[in-house]
Copies of this chain bind each other. A is one copy, B any other.
């Protein structure tokens, strides 16, 4: 590659800013979540994915795909959540498509309890700092990138 197209100052500011924001913002929100609710971000992601569905269940493989985790990594994580009573696991031997994760009443309670503090944390460290226009632009940027990557925003 003879002529690398290095980032100009404007582009570098955006890229470096995104990278530093991602690192520090996500760490702050994860710390708040742990402190307020005793949940890790991964716990919260699993619980909120499950609670968003009327069936309160996801196939392990599909949820792993969504989180970009390997099936074995999510399986180990789910085992630890199972020990804490937050989810249960059902084997669906009948159709050969493997394990299903199911939200328990205790897991639902945990996310319902955690959500108000979590939304305050997200507001305090991101949302309430931005103008309406900045919020819309952040949404637009995400949509553009996700579309490019062949993914939906949700």
Contact = CB atoms under 8 A, between A and B. Distances in A.
16 contacts: A1-B116, A4-B119, A4-B120, A6-B119, A7-B122, A7-B123, A13-B153, A14-B138, A20-B151, A20-B154, A21-B141, A21-B142, A22-B22, A27-B68, A130-B144, A134-B144
Interface string A2-22: 001111001101111110111
Which of A6, A27, A68, A149 has its CB near the most chain B CB atoms (within 10 A)?
Answer: A149
8 A-B pairs with least C-beta separation: A17-B142, A4-B116, A21-B142, A13-B139, A14-B135, A137-B137, A14-B138, A14-B139
Interface in A5-55: 5-7, 10-11, 13-18, 20-28
